[in-house]
Structure 1
Amino acid sequence: MNLPFWVRRVHKWIGLVIGVQALLWMLSGVYMTVISLEVIHGDHLAHAFDEPLRRDGERLDVEQLARLRPGLESFKLKRFLDKEVYELRVGGKASLVDARTGELLSPLPREQIVARAKDLYQGEAEIREVTWITQAPQEVIKRPVPMWAVRFDDRANSTLYFSPDTGDLLARRHDLWRWFDFLWMLHIMDYDTRSDVNNNLLRVAAGVGLLFALSGAWLVFYSFRRRAQP
């Protein structure tokens, strides 16, 4: 049996099979190291902080909140646009009420979401489109629906996603993030959810890549050994 011949042949064919994926691994890896995670996360697109709350504000107390929403599980005080609100959770569902009057504010209408988006957005572009979403697109597939999507007319096609119940900023998306998501899909070879780093296809590709590397290392060792022989 001519072992070097078969190792070379195996190495060559494995290289043809795994070469494209190895190139994708390298290209996607370069992108992930060149573009910082802060940029990918969209921290530059929208700030996520509000003005501090006043200590002496006129607000409903806990007993009043409990009477207002029977079955109250939890609550927190925060600022939404220009007013203080309570975020109440009953039966696992959150809603906003005016902290002074107890008026129910959820679900938040389009006009308030637009105002919230303009308040958080750090760019200078105008809003291009506001969409009510009941089926989450791939880029926010893990976020709860329904939600509001506010798209800005900037070079990055920036989109901010908001909860209609709490007004929270659920996600920041832009073209650099979308490229990252696409390359991440190619990198981990999960073409469905783009999140499973333990899928069988990746395991097989990694195993074949290891075999390619080992066969190449053996051939290098064998070649130098042959040259060293008198």
Structure 2
Amino acid sequence: MTFFILSMKRRVHRFTRKTHRYLGLFIGIQFLFWTIGGLYFSWNDMDDVHGETLLDKTEHTFSFSYNEPVRKLLQFLEDTEAKPIKNIEAIVVNKDSLLRVTRSNDILFLNLNKNKYRVRKALTKEESIAFVKSRLYNAMPIKSTKFLTEKEIANKHEYRGNPLPVFAITLEHETNTTVYVHPNTAKITKVRNDNWRKFDFLWMLHVMDFETRDHITNWVLRVFSVLGLLTILSGFYLFFISSPTLRKWREKLKS
């Protein structure tokens, strides 16, 4: 009986050592990614990652009064297309004073410059570029501009999950910053730079979601988390059975 118990213990110890060794090799690579990602996340300035160091994302607003022409035009827009107005915001885009009129399923702009009330539906490419330039803390040239729709945006795209269509305006800067302007709302929706792209790549490795990079309850992460726990527990077990100090302590308890 004693021989059988000793034999079983040796088998358990041998199996645990082998399991721990191979788990450590397999999980160790992912542990390395988790550690590198954690260091990058904790030692980085999130303002720089979010691209907030180059431009001011706050909207420029102004105060206005509902004079008779404006009131009549708004009433006309609401009545003719049977789309109730939900909200009105006074914003400055480039040098234009606009009313952003949010209706039930769309947004219109009412240009108030020089008392010439003009209705428009979206910013042009040139206006979007000028809009970005007006929000920069320091003047810099534009490297490229692209108009993106759903066809150009994939799950792995840096602008994934955000409102479309959009103008992607890349600045001539060492950080390779791209400012995304939604022409239908006259808003800067996202800012992406090389620091954010590194962050996004490491975050993908961290959560192990290689498609959308946002799904942290995926099965790959769950399996690796369980295997990581087994690696840690097997390491504790091996320490418990191989530590000279603990062995002496167990022998004292037996005697």
Report how many aligned residue pairs link the two structures: 230
| Contact in 2 for aligned 1:190/1:196 (Cα 8 Å) | yes
Secondary structure of 2:27 counterpart: helix
Structure 1 stretch 203-212 or stretch 135-144: which is displaced more? 135-144
How much has 1:23 moved relative to structure 2? 0.3
Structure 1 stretch 133-142 or stretch 21-30: which is displaced more? 133-142
How much has 1:41 moved relative to structure 2? 1.2
Structure 1 stretch 74-83 or stretch 54-63: which is displaced more? 54-63
Q: Tell me whether 1:136 sits opposite 2:153 in the alignment.
A: yes
CA distance in 2, matches of 1:58, 1:223: 86
CA distance in 2, matches of 1:177, 1:205: 26
| Contact in 2 for aligned 1:45/1:172 (Cα 8 Å) | no
Q: What amino acid sits opposite 2:118 in the alignment?
A: E
Structure 1 stretch 46-55 or stretch 78-87: which is displaced more? 46-55
- Give the aligned partner of residue 115 of structure 1: 130
Q: Please tell me whether Structure 1 or Structure 2 has the larger radius of gyration of its CA atoms.
A: 2
Q: Tell me whether 1:175 sits opposite 2:188 in the alignment.
A: no
How much has 1:62 moved relative to structure 2? 5.0
Structure 2 gap segments, 5+ residues each: 1-7
What fraction of aligned residue pairs are identical, expressed as a percent? 27
How much has 1:72 moved relative to structure 2? 2.5
Q: Tell me whether 1:54 sits opposite 2:69 in the alignment.
A: no
Secondary structure of 1:142 counterpart: coil
CA distance in 1, matches of 2:117, 2:236: 72
CA distance in 2, matches of 1:9, 1:62: 79
TM-score (norm 1): 0.91
Matches within 5 A, 1:89-168: 89-99=102-112, 101-134=116-149, 135-136=152-153, 138-168=157-187
The structure with the greater share of residues assigned to helix is 2
How much has 1:123 moved relative to structure 2? 4.0
| Contact in 1 for aligned 2:63/2:90 (Cα 8 Å) | no
Q: What amino acid sits opposite 2:136 in the alignment?
A: Y
- Give the aligned partner of residue 22 of structure 1: 31
- In the superposition, relative to structure 1, how do residues 92 and 4 fare at CA in structure 2: closer, same or farther (>3 Å)? same
Secondary structure of 2:122 counterpart: coil
Q: Tell me whether 1:202 sits opposite 2:237 in the alignment.
A: no
| Contact in 1 for aligned 2:143/2:172 (Cα 8 Å) | yes
TM-score (norm 2): 0.83
| Contact in 2 for aligned 1:107/1:164 (Cα 8 Å) | yes
Structure 1 gap segments, 5+ residues each: none
- Give the aligned partner of residue 53 of structure 2: 44
CA distance in 2, matches of 1:120, 1:114: 10
Secondary structure of 2:167 counterpart: strand
| Contact in 2 for aligned 1:72/1:88 (Cα 8 Å) | no
CA distance in 2, matches of 1:126, 1:140: 22
Task: Kindly provide the CA deviation profile for residues 149-170 of structure 1, in whole angstroms up to 9, marking residues without a partner as x.
Answer: 1111111101000011121001
Q: Tell me whether 1:11 sits opposite 2:20 in the alignment.
A: yes
- Give the aligned partner of residue 73 of structure 1: 85
| Contact in 2 for aligned 1:48/1:169 (Cα 8 Å) | yes
Secondary structure of 1:96 counterpart: strand
